[in-house]
Structure 1
């Protein structure tokens, strides 16, 4: 039978130090991962953009456009309508990416089939963000960010 060693102040101090080092190490790893994966910037000049936000929002709402995005069988489709009629534009650009990281972003130039805009793209299941940029024929900029949730059974 071996004798038990007494619990000394030094042992307790080392246990506390080890626990705090583990907690701090985990926090540092999580902070590094969060800061390294999130782009953080929506625009380089947020103050200037904010000054014109309301004017652009009113002009965009006056277009009365509805936008809807669907994904199926390796193809993303944008339905852009006004009063139930398809909006026909020469240049519609779409950026698709994850909501929290920019390394998955892909910029697509959409094709038009007379009813909707589409492009081939392979997306994994999860939370995606679709950013639409185009200009109306009267020169009004149209910008829309649409969340796109892809379930694992729809890939």
Structure 2
């Protein structure tokens, strides 16, 4: 015996499909908000007023900055005119781009060619959020993408 599909069967099918879609969307939205690290600046308008001036000063330093991660060794190279330098590090945060759960504050030491620190790294993409001061007081800040080799 073949059962006939009635109107309420179709309605129940559509209702269940939309309920699943809504549940998945709510789950994704909740997880996105829960893992968001937070604001970059408190007031973007105020920060924008000095952005161009600060950017020009930072670019005027002419620093070439790179970071690499080998195992648990983080190497930060800051070159000024091809010469390695060790500016005053105001803050450095090493962590994932999408979550603050694994954020670490590396303690850098300068060995003459690079700043080095031991961190708890792993495979994948990492960020080093760096704030440093040049000898003349110019603020240098940059988010450096650090990829751990597979």
**Global fold match (TM > 0.5):** yes
Give the drift of 1:90: 4.0
Give the drift of 1:52: 0.6
Give the drift of 1:89: 2.5
Residue 10 of structure 1 aligns to a residue in which SS?
Answer: helix
Report if the CA contact (8 A) 2:94-2:128 is conserved.
yes
1:109, 1:88 → 2: CA distance?
Answer: 13
**Which consecutive residues of structure 2, in runs of 5 or more, have no partner in the other structure?**
none
**1:34 aligned residue:** 32
**1:93 aligned residue:** 91
1:83, 1:34 → 2: CA distance?
Answer: 42
Give the drift of 1:134: 0.9
Give the drift of 1:109: 2.6
**1:129 aligned residue:** 127
2:17, 2:64 → 1: CA distance?
Answer: 54
**2:100 aligned residue:** 102
1:135, 1:31 → 2: CA distance?
Answer: 38
CA 1:7–1:91: 2 relative to 1, 3 Å? closer
TM-score relative to the length of structure 1 = 0.90
Report if the CA contact (8 A) 1:130-1:146 is conserved.
yes
Residue 106 of structure 2 aligns to a residue in which SS?
Answer: strand
How many aligned positions are there?
150
RMSD: 1.4
- Residue 120 in 1 paired to residue 118 in 2? yes
TM-score relative to the length of structure 2 = 0.93
